[in-house]
């Protein structure tokens, strides 16, 4: 479930890169959240 959320947030971030003028700032925040979730998963020792 967490990996699905990370992938979804990264896809939204890529969408934000395409539409950079409108939603880019918010989607960059989502990218940071996705990376934090991924790091938490790695730190806990769960496979990525």
Residues 18, 20, 26: CA angle, nearest 5 degrees:
110
Q: Where are the domains of the chain?
A: 2-43
pLDDT tens digits for the chain (48 residues)?
778 888 888 887 777 777 766 656 776 777 788 888 888 888 998 776
Cα pseudo-dihedral 11, 14, 16, 19, rounded to 10: -120
**Residue 38 corresponds to which tokens in the numbers above?**
């991924």
**What is the model's pTM?**
0.51
């Amino acid at each position: 479930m967490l990996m699905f959320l990370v992938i979804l947030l990264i896809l939204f971030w890529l969408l934000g890169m395409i539409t950079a003028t409108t939603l880019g700032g918010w989607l960059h925040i989502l990218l940071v959240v996705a990376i934090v979730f991924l790091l938490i998963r790695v730190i806990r020792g769960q496979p990525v």
